[in-house]
Amino acid sequence: MKSLRLYAILYLIFLYAPIALLPIFAFNDGTVIAFPLKGFTLEWFKELLTIPALHAAVLNSLIIAVSSALIATCLGICAARAGTRFAFPGKKGILGLIMLPLVLPEIIVAVSLLVVLLQLGLPLGSWTVVLGHVLMCTPFSIAILNSAFQSLDVSLEEAAIDLGETRWSSFRLITLPLVMPGIISSLLIAFTISLDEFIIAFFLTGTNPTLPVYIWGQLRFPQKIPVIMALGTILVLASVILLAIAEYFRRRGVARTGQADAGGFL
Amino acid sequence: MKDTLGVERPIIALENVEKYYGEYYALRGISAEIRQGEFFSLLGPSGCGKTTLLRTIAGFEELSGGRLMIDGKDMKRVPANVRPTNMVFQSYAIFPHLTVAENVGFGLRREPLSRDEKARKVAEALEMVGLRGYGARAAHALSGGQRQRVALARALILEPKVLLLDEPLSALDKKMREQMQTELRRLQRQVGITFILVTHDQEEALIMSDRIAVMFEGQIAQLDTPQQLYRRPNTRQVGEFIGVMNFLPATATVSDETHIEVEAAGLGRAVIAPDQLPGGWHPGQTQSVGIRPETMSILFPGETTDRRVAIGTVEDLSYYGDMTYYVVRLDGVDRPMTISMKNLVGRPVLDRGTEARVAWDARSLVLFA
Ligand SMILES: Nc1ncnc2c1ncn2[C@@H]1O[C@H](COP(=O)(O)OP(=O)(O)OP(=O)(O)O)[C@@H](O)[C@H]1O
Ligand SMILES: [Mg+2]
């Protein structure tokens, strides 16, 4: 038992030490990333406000993340509903294929998408990044929404139809509110994934870089590194908050329909 | 519900209704007429197609063949949401994100009623099922029995012509179930709506129904009143499914129009009346007779009777306090039979292995193929 605990602690240190370094150097009053620390400063955070290229990248990333999250969640709703409600030939195989990007190396997905797009002669731009991100996010959305739809009694919608509602209105009045926590959770997770994603964005972006691509570009300039540390600190904080909210909604959804928790991502 | 000739029109008419899922025939030619205002039960073992038939009537399943009429109208291409039926689901299907009142009033959403009228109707419906004052409660926090009542109120608020109930009591514990059985019966008499109840519990069907359709493998084996079903089952299968029935190998011969002579193993010869034969039945087809445990009695030593007497041995017994169930093997028969006896004052409980003199009547024999 003791060695197991030691292992767990070492593992956590290994996992989180690099991330812990981010805020440490973000507030450090020195351009060199090295110990000993010099002193406390907000200089690097202030500098973030003065870089137009950074602001453009942030805006671009936000637009891409919002679009990807919306599209992936809509696709997820359709797939999860079809998967939990109807039986059709090849259902397992089709769902398996949809979930494949979860385990495929991102670089493979990125390169193959790039090849296809270039072959088709389509111009690269924000929309191609959205395309790639939808591909990455949809499996997560499906997994989250599946658990939301699965915990739903099939007769609920039938009961609404029986009481005079149409198919669509019973979906809107009964199913949608009940899976709403799952939808919100899916939107947030997909948004976070898209916001942080680098490889696909790097390959498929046109002239406007996303935030991670911009950061990568700045790493060539050593004097910019403390600023990047500050930016990284903000990003980590934002991601953690978004994921926590997503998990909160997922759990609330499970509790609302009175089911046992089948586990999520967190 | 009388037509122009003054003939009672059935509220539901099933004409050779069929339903198949791919190769599998779930319903194989169901024909029945369900009368206005009756408490009708569909009874049968698991998988016999009860739910399928109920869902076909509700409009959730399309017919593969045959015809379904509700109140004189063909229901082909009439979707579930406009049929004059409402359903109480097995899981109750209470909307968990709504309050009790919102659940009960859900069907009124599309009715052209004022807010006050709707609230009044909801209050009335809650009152009717004994949930007065529960309107503001969250629906997901109710007990099983309360959910059941909410589901009932929700389905009855639209005053359907037919209320469909799919095993509504199976999720309740024994005591609650018995209470709800009485209450459902009372409610049905009060509102006068036709109830169709699906159940696999024969006792429940007998207690509650005006008429019962016994189903096996997608077909109706017998449609009758509870008494008729119990006393005169058409087939061995029905006799076995409803209550307990003992079967003895037998042959029958007709001596004249009104006398049919039966020779049953262990019991001997008996003359029975033609009304003891199932309808459309030729006595020569007889292969066995059935007899219910409570129609026989074991005579205690010294007791005399003017009934017929057969001799056997007590093989086993189960003592239930008010009753004793004896397993008796009649001389010359290889299968033992069950005989139930009330434990009256002064009547001793017999031991295993003692000789049993079994008194029986020719009137209680039922003939089977
Ligand atoms: N959607 C379906 N697809 C294929 N087969 C089905 C479908 N629905 C029902 N069946 C089959 O039809 C048969 C009758 O089912 P049904 O649900 O009507 O039985 P039941 O009498 O209600 O049984 P239970 O008492 O177990 O509820 C079963 O063998 C079932 O497997
Ligand atoms: Mg059923």
ipTM of this complex: 0.83
**Domain-located, residue A216:** yes
Tokens standing for residue A143 = 């997994």
Q: Which ligand is closest in space to the CA of residue B218?
A: 1
d(CA A182, CA A249): 7
In-domain check, residue A2: no
Rounded CA separation B70/B27 (Å): 18
In tens, the pLDDT along A40-64 reads: 777 788 888 888 888 888 899 999 9
Residue type, position B23, single letter: E
Residue type, B254: V
Name the residue range of residue A146's domain.
21-28+40-257
pLDDT, one tens digit per residue, over A203-256 is 888 788 888 888 888 888 877 788 888 888 888 888 888 888 878 877 776 666
Can you name the residues that pair with B99 across neighbouring β-strands?
A: B138
User: CB A225: neighbour CB atoms within 10 A?
Assistant: 17
**Measured distance CA(A132)–CA(A101) in Å, rounded:** 10
> What does pTM read for this prediction?
0.81
Position A266 confidence tier, pLDDT thresholds 50, 70, 90: very low
The verdict on residue A266 lying in a domain is no
Q: B285 vs B239, B262, B277, B282, CA distance in Å?
A: 17, 12, 11, 6
Average per-residue pLDDT in chain B?
89
Res A102 pLDDT > 90: no
Task: Evaluate the CA torsion angle B27, B32, B35, B38 in order and state its sign.
Answer: negative
Tokens found for residue A117: 């797009």
pLDDT at site B5? 53
A160 is a domain residue: yes
Check whether A121 has a pLDDT greater than 60. yes
In DSSP terms, A64 is beta-bridged to none
Q: Would you list the DSSP string of A179-197?
A: HHHHHHHHHHHHHHHHHH-
B197 closest CA partner among B155, B236, B138:
B155
Residue A150 is assigned to a structural domain of this protein: yes
Query: Is the Cβ pair A160, B95 closer than 8 Å?
Result: yes
Q: pLDDT digits over B302-321, tens only?
A: 888 889 999 999 999 999 98
For chain B, domains (ranges, CATH) are 11-231 (3.40.50.300), 244-369 (2.40.50.140)
Cβ contacts of B89 on chain A, cutoff 8 Å: 155, 158-159
The total domain count for chain A is: 1
| Predicted confidence (pLDDT) per residue in B281-310, tens digit | 666 777 788 999 999 999 988 888 889 999
Q: Taking residues B12-23, what's their average pLDDT?
A: 92
Q: Does residue A63 fall inside a structural domain? A: yes
The mean-pLDDT minimum among A106-110, A167-171, B6-10 falls in B6-10
In a domain, A265, yes or no: no
Within a domain: A70: yes
Q: What is the pLDDT of residue A30?
A: 74
**Closest by Cβ to B95, choosing from A156, A162, A164:** A156
Q: How confident is the model at residue B50 (pLDDT cuts 50, 70, 90)?
A: very high
Check CB contact of B109 with chain A, cutoff 8 Å.
Answer: yes
Task: Quote the mean pLDDT of chain A.
Answer: 83
CATH code, A238: 1.10.3720.10
What is residue B335's predicted lDDT score, i.e. its pLDDT? 87
The reply to whether omega before A36 is within 30° of 0 (cis) is: yes
| Pick from B58, B93, B97: CB nearest A256 | B97
B242-265 burial code (b ≥16 CB/10 A, e <16) = bbebbbbebebeeeeeeebebebb
